[in-house]
Structure 1
Amino acid sequence: MRARNYFVGAAFALLAGGMANSALAQDIKIGEINSYSLLPAFTEPYRKGWQLAVEEINAAGGINGKKLVVISKDDGGKPADAQTAANELVSSEGVAMLTGTFLSNIGLAVSDFANQKKVFFLAAEPLTDAVTWSKGNKYTFRLRPSNYMQAAMLVEAAAKLPAKRWATIAPNYEYGQSAVAVFKKLMSEKRPDIQWVDEQWPPQGKIDAGPVVQAVAAANPEAILNVTFGADLVKLVREGNTRGLFKGREVVSFLTGEPEYLDPLKDETPEGWIVTGYPWYSIKTPEHDAFLKAYQTKYNDYPRLGSIVGYQTIKAAAAILAKAGSTDPEKLIAAAEGISMPSPFGEITFRKIDHQSTLGAFVGKTALKDGKGVMVDSVYKKGADYLPSDAEVEKLRPKD
Structure 2
Amino acid sequence: MINRGLKLGIVLCFLSIVLICGPALAAEKPAKPIKLGVLFIMSGPMGGYGKHGSQAVQLALDEINAKGGILGRKVEAIFEDDKMKPEVGVEIANKFIKKDKVDFIMGPTSSAIAVALADLALKEKKILILTQAAANSLTEAKFNPYVFSTLSNAMMHSRAGAYFMAPKGYKRWMNIGPDYAYGRESWASFSAKLKELQPDAEIVGELWPKLMEKDFTPFIQKIVETKPDAVWSSLWGNDAVNFVKQALPTGLFNNVKFAFTDGAALETLVPLGKDLPNGVFVAARYFFLSPDTAMNRNFVKSYMDRF
TM range (shorter): 0.7 to 0.9
Task: Give the corresponding residue for 1:288.
Answer: 296
Q: With the length of structure 1 as denominator, give the TM-score of the two structures.
A: 0.67
Identity, % of aligned positions: 29
Distance in structure 1 (CA, Å) of the matches to 2:99 and 2:146:
20
Number of residues paired by the alignment? 279
- Secondary structure class of the residue paired with 2:84: coil
**Alpha-carbon contact 2:54-2:79 (below 8 Å) kept:** no
Task: Give the corresponding residue for 2:53.
Answer: 46
Following TM superposition, by how much is the alpha carbon of 1:284 offset from its aligned partner in structure 2, in angstroms? 2.5
Letter in 1 for 2:42: Y
> Is 1:250–2:243 an aligned residue pair?
no
Task: Give the corresponding residue for 1:29.
Answer: 35
Following TM superposition, by how much is the alpha carbon of 1:281 offset from its aligned partner in structure 2, in angstroms? 4.2
**Alpha-carbon contact 2:36-2:103 (below 8 Å) kept:** yes
**Alpha-carbon contact 1:202-1:208 (below 8 Å) kept:** no
Which structure 2 segments of 5+ residues have no match?
1-23
Distance in structure 2 (CA, Å) of the matches to 1:54 and 1:23:
22
Task: Give the corresponding residue for 1:376.
Answer: none
Following TM superposition, by how much is the alpha carbon of 1:207 offset from its aligned partner in structure 2, in angstroms? 3.9
Distance in structure 2 (CA, Å) of the matches to 1:23 and 1:181:
54
**CA distance change for structure 1 residues 213 and 24 in 2, over 3 Å: closer, same or farther?**
farther
**Alpha-carbon contact 1:154-1:275 (below 8 Å) kept:** no
> Is 1:297–2:305 an aligned residue pair?
yes
Distance in structure 2 (CA, Å) of the matches to 1:182 and 1:51:
34
Distance in structure 1 (CA, Å) of the matches to 2:127 and 2:43:
25
217-226 or 72-81, which moves further after superposition? 72-81
**Alpha-carbon contact 2:174-2:231 (below 8 Å) kept:** yes
Task: Give the corresponding residue for 2:239.
Answer: 232
Following TM superposition, by how much is the alpha carbon of 1:35 offset from its aligned partner in structure 2, in angstroms? 1.6
Following TM superposition, by how much is the alpha carbon of 1:279 offset from its aligned partner in structure 2, in angstroms? 3.8
Larger of the two Rg values belongs to structure:
2
Task: Give the corresponding residue for 1:70.
Answer: 77
25-34 or 221-230, which moves further after superposition? 25-34
155-164 or 30-39, which moves further after superposition? 30-39
Task: Give the corresponding residue for 1:201.
Answer: 208
Task: Give the corresponding residue for 2:9.
Answer: none
> Is 1:146–2:190 an aligned residue pair?
no
**Alpha-carbon contact 2:172-2:228 (below 8 Å) kept:** yes
Distance in structure 1 (CA, Å) of the matches to 2:205 and 2:84:
29
Distance in structure 2 (CA, Å) of the matches to 1:54 and 1:190:
44
Distance in structure 1 (CA, Å) of the matches to 2:62 and 2:150:
20
Question: Which structure has the higher relative contact order (CA within 8 Å, separation 6+)?
Answer: 1
Task: Give the corresponding residue for 1:221.
Answer: 228
Alignment root-mean-square deviation, CA: 1.7
Following TM superposition, by how much is the alpha carbon of 1:231 offset from its aligned partner in structure 2, in angstroms? 2.1
**CA distance change for structure 1 residues 81 and 53 in 2, over 3 Å: closer, same or farther?**
same
Task: Give the corresponding residue for 1:178.
Answer: 185
Match of 2:97 among 90, 107, 127: 90
- Secondary structure class of the residue paired with 2:262: strand
Distance in structure 2 (CA, Å) of the matches to 1:97 and 1:223:
42
Distance in structure 2 (CA, Å) of the matches to 1:23 and 1:228:
51
